[in-house]
A and B are shown apart, each in its own frame.
Chain A
Amino acid sequence: MSCGAKKDVSRRDFLRSGASLATLQLAPGVTLMAFGGSEAQAAADAGKRWGLLIDASKCAPDCNACITACQDENGWKGGGNAETDVQWIRKVTLKDKSSGRETSLPVMCQHCESPPCVDVCPTGASFKRKDGIVLVDKHICIGCRYCMMACPFKARSFVHERVTNQKTHAPRGIGTVESCTLCVHRVDEGRIPACVEACEAAGHGAMVFGDLLDPESEISRRLAAYPSVALRPDLDLNPGVRYREI
């Protein structure tokens, strides 16, 4: 790791200096983001809670940009077997029976504040990071799939088949359960999730990513200004993913 070590240090310095250029410190703990996105995270920060706001009225029914981007980013392309293929994010169509109006929206792990998947996990593999991102530690997961049954959003998948060519930043393999990581590897570098980026690039801008605890963040300001809902609010899970216009 000698050569690697040097590279890591310079990369770290780069990230840190990049972050200080792009942001303006207003007061201790209060930072103004110059270019959107988030400050490069040196580590998971308990002072933040990452979330998504999805505006269903901007989500095009025939668009799959978020799904494709997630597959490319995290390397989970299916093997053509619908019964067993994993699905980190899916497009769901809601239909109002009386009016016939249809709404299209992406659904992924909702990064619940009180995650049932974590409650039921017998090994401690399912866990919530201090910044609210819910993950599976695949070194511990035994593939029992309790979490899949506990999740009200069908957000988790079991890997049934052998996997090759994983992304270095997204290890995944047979016998473990996985779900949306909110692109945690990107978030830790101060970048936004791949789906949000792709939605923006496709010209829809239906998704906003940000810190729910920072009242000045774009996501918090929108949540404060317009009505929004959590999926299955009756369950009181306080998910980090919120929806508008559904």
Chain B
Amino acid sequence: MDAREKEIEKLKDYKYGFSTDIENTRAPKGLNEEVIKFISNIKKEPKWMLDWRLKAFERLKQLKEPNWQKPKYPKIDYQDLYYYSAPKSMDDKPKSLDELDPKLLETYKKLGIPLQEQARLNGIAVDAVFDSVSVATTFKGELNKKGIIFCSMSEAIREHPELVKKYLGSVIPLSDHYFATLNSAVFTDGSFVYIPEGVRCPMELSTYFRINATETGQFERTLIIADKGSYVSYLEGCTAPMRDENQLHAANVELIALDDAEIKYSTVQNWYPGDKNGVGGIYNFVTKRGLCKGKNSKISWTQVETGSAITWKYPSCILKGDNSVGEFYSIAITNNHQKADTGTKMIHLGKNTKSKIISKGISAGFADNTYRGLVDIARNADNARNFTQCDSLLMGNKCGAHTVPYIKNKNSSSNIEHEATTSKISEEQLFYCNQRGLNQEEAVSLIVNGFCKEVLQQLPMEFAVEAQKLVGISLEGSVG
């Protein structure tokens, strides 16, 4: 293969691997107070926000990077990273899409996320985050009419300080753990959602995260508040160019559901996974936590994790309100040298709280996939219920799957069920599919999609088809 052919082969594997050639404004390299002030300043933040960041930074100095996870990685030099990078054209934030750099519009179009008025996805409002800034948010006006706030985090800090002050850090405390604290100090952009009392959000809200700049970490911060009796379905998608370096994406996502409110949060994570030999790829170290604060509230996480060199995250629910419900539906696919250590924590505090965990781990090539979960039932959480099902599917015999379920139960009226299976795609199943005219890749995709069905069903329809394709694509070349 010559260089061009190689490039094409690579593109076939990961079609979001292109990069956009654009002039950037960057913070000076490294992690220090000056850089934090730079970020806060360029985002025109009020002083309380800067103070909050600096407090986190002080705290960070006393924290150690955790090391208990299964996938190990080389030491990250935090002084050798850029913490802010944004297209220069965003310096004076364009007022409308017409003023937006055509290169950015083109990038999102290529990613299948058209931002222009006439081409927009039907019924889906999009916040497009490019490196450290939100470049555009669609359908803002329409949503506003219902009192819904959907904007970038940076804008929310300026325009809705009372909400941000009240809820930011209320689910993931400023000094929760190393990466969460790092994020609190240097977070750049992400989405902010507020659904007022009694409102059912009329469309899917989504954020598309794109990493473009080199040597840059992305520190996303998202905050979603569903007021009493409201409902919202939110989806995030992620891609990045193919590079030989490992890039860090350390996000904090906080969800708050008040009385009778429901938040459905779906993720289709397709960061660059690295090449076949495990060179490059994103370190996806993310803290996601939802608080079912009110009675009868519900938070449901659905994740389809197919990308990243390392995925390390536990989208969790704190079930504080009586009768609140937490759900976690997960597909984690690791191929080649990818690694995942993911799962959830369900913390039952209120009475009659219910949680459900469905995890599907698929491992191929030399990959390693760990489900790690905690079901924690507090002393006063009478009649708490949990159901957990962890299924692993192995392809080939060089990959690994592990299930680490922790249970802490302090209330004898609770009911906890746990089921786990490990299986392989059998030669006979493949032969059967091949005999019916499917080639190897189609057969694997069909069988794996069947294995993941319970989780795929949870995705909003608009994304289910994409996710199904992604499941097939991410396993290409995994059987000989």
Partners in one complex: no
Chain A positions within 8 Å of B, measured between CB atoms, are none
